[in-house]
Structure 1
Amino acid sequence: MEESSEEEEVDQSNNIVLGFDSSDIFSTNLVFNLRESLIEWTKDKGKQDRIIIVIKRSYTGKSGKTRIKFACERSGSYRQIVKKIDGKKKKENLIEEHRQKKCGCPFLLSAHKLVTSDDWILKVVCGLHNHLSAKHLEGHLFARRMTKEETKIFVDTSKCNIMPREILVVIKEKNTHNVSTVRTIYNARQKHRVRE
């Protein structure tokens, strides 16, 4: 990955920071035989370059093709709600504290399932980002989530009364791209206790 100083371009006329292009990262000729492997590959590629990829939309079209649209977590914008205060309508952002996160990032990937088989193909629709990549993902809301496999490891090691820090070490040894924190393990342990 290039250094952020090389990534960043500034339009001198408007002083607008232009982001970076990640088309080459996600351009692939791979054919995925499972939906889950496609999703895992896409999210892992994003994590390697400090980009959080989320599923924007998943649907079956009129032609019978099943599609998945992937986007950057910073795509879109916040909805505004209208509140009546003292008889006057006021527009307010739905989520005030995270207002800076979404910036209308145009990044978009499209995957579709082949009609003749269960294979999936991934294409880059727009590889441009209008923001810089994250400096680090440690403790990030989406990135710190544990996968099903990591959750299984957590459950198995929790039965042996192993300390949360040691559980985290085991999980990070299995997946070098894992950015979970000890807090993630404590939260998972609490959730697991509530289920039991």
Structure 2
Amino acid sequence: MTMQCERSGEYKPPKTRKKPKLEGTGSRKCNCPFRLKCFFEEKKTQEGWIAMLCGVHNHDLASNLSGHLLAGRLKGEEKQRVINMTKSLEKPRNILTDLKERNKEIVTLIKLVYNARTKWHKGQREDKTELQYLITRLEENQYVYFTRANSEETTPEDLFFAHPKSIDMLNTFPTVLAMDSTYKTNTY
């Protein structure tokens, strides 16, 4: 088994169709040569020894652990706190402030709060897409909805939904009608 510095290797940008803009961005990776090699004598006894292949780092050690991959992780109770505050429609910056007020030594960044929220939202959806989940929620809450898809493809073109109380108000006051229309606000 080989152990190496978390900053070893080179940054590899994700493979995308467009060429990524790397101006003004950084990476932790700096080809750090630090390496340890572990050898096991026998698998039954788990006895072994460690050899240092290179004991030198080519970068300064961090003065604090802010942004460190392991130190910045959210603990179980902190993840639960993020989920509970997300359910209460709290903003991510307020969630992070609350976490830091509860634990003065926390070095979590806002990115981890966003990641925890996203993971929870995806868990709520299960295997459904965002649109399938939206339609499921509309049906659960007895909204009136109508969808129209492209005849050649299965992609949706239009989605109309109205709250049941809005329908009751329309039936009561048919001369006053207020509508809201959104156009090209997301990928759907």
Place the TM-score, normalised by the shorter chain, in its bin: 0.3 to 0.5
Larger Rg: 2
TM-score (norm 1): 0.39
Structure with more relative contact order (C-alpha pairs < 8 Å, separation 6 or more): 1
TM-score (norm 2): 0.40
**Structure with the larger strand share:** 1
